[in-house]
Structure 1
Amino acid sequence: MPLVISEDPPLAKLIQRYINGDSRACEQLLSYREYRQRVIRIAHKQTRGHTISWEDAAQTAHEKVFQALKKRDFCPERGDFLPWAGTVAKFAIIDLMRKEKQKYCRSLDEHIPGTDILLSDTVADDFNLSDAVERTDLVFQVKKAIAALDQQYPKRGYLLMWQGKVQGKTYTQVATDLGITQSAVSKRWKELTARIADKFGLLPDGDNKPEDKGKQGQKNRQARSKLNW
């Protein structure tokens, strides 16, 4: 039996069926190869350098175009389907990214758990969204890791040292709080830094791939910046 390769129905026929009220034509228009390729290109371009994946952006675009088709917003007399769908998809993705940015900007106004420090105080004034989101997540992860280490090594006072740092205390003040010497605080802080680096997989590893070293170095610097006294 010869192999039969299914092809998209001609776009003009799909549009005519859409005009005639065929509900299945909407779904087939969204499955049209040229349409999907166009949306993927738009999603890749619009999400470049942002935390939102192009797959999520494309899915949002498909949903918005489908809703617009269902509402009969597309009018063939005013232009071709592909440019119209591309415009709808582009603005749907822009709107998605705007809402995501607003959500994370609001989260930066929250306090780091267990402290009175705002998350916005941990990022530079000239941050971009992707850096802010990554660093905000890192703050939470570091705080969580320190709390776990404090339970694992209750006599080392790791959590109290961390809280002292975010409160702006000096080595002398933290040493007084813990009832130890300043040199002991310095030594324990280096211990904590090393344990955090190990927990995040940031210590040197001969098995690391060359292409991973740049990302690993960046994460290492960020993690250490959270622990710098």
Structure 2
Amino acid sequence: MEQFRPPHEVQRDTELALAFRDGDEDAVRTMYERFGGLVFTVAHRILGDGQRAEDVTQHVFLQAWRHADHFDAGRDFAPWLATIARRAAIDALRKEQRRPTEAIDHADPSDSALVTLPPSAEQIETVWSVRTAIDSLDPNEREVIRLQHLQGHTHSEIAEQLGVAVGTVKSRSHRAHRRLATRLGHLRQDVDQ
């Protein structure tokens, strides 16, 4: 899934990739700061446990550092790291699940493992794109989006919580949605194809 990224971001990531491949400690730190949340999220979705996801996150960055010479400096880090994270989390899950099994008839029907597959690389990239777009909003707009979409508040409830007029909330929401539509337009195009 190809998406538009500003040239300065591509150049910054290319420089980071080259430094990372050369074993530069600052580049490793920068990689962890920028992409640690993504790797943790992927691992946590598969494992369902924060401590195990943190262990996998550490392992992923160690693996990435060991295999940095295989990374194409012109590509985006996020899908590469998400793929490593997904594989590492599945491996960790398999190691833990090596125990006697029972017939599927005895499984708890509400067990999410029976009905939910791990997210695909495309789903992970979509979530990462949306998260990045929201994080890039003005803090006031980002807060309105968070309260509206993640916590399910109405415009009136948001206005009361933030201590601003309802019209202010509506205008922030409108501006934020317009910016998000522009930044995430590539996702709509992918669905239409």
More contact order relative to length (CA 8 Å, sep ≥ 6)? 2
TM-score by length of 2: 0.41
Rg larger in structure? 1
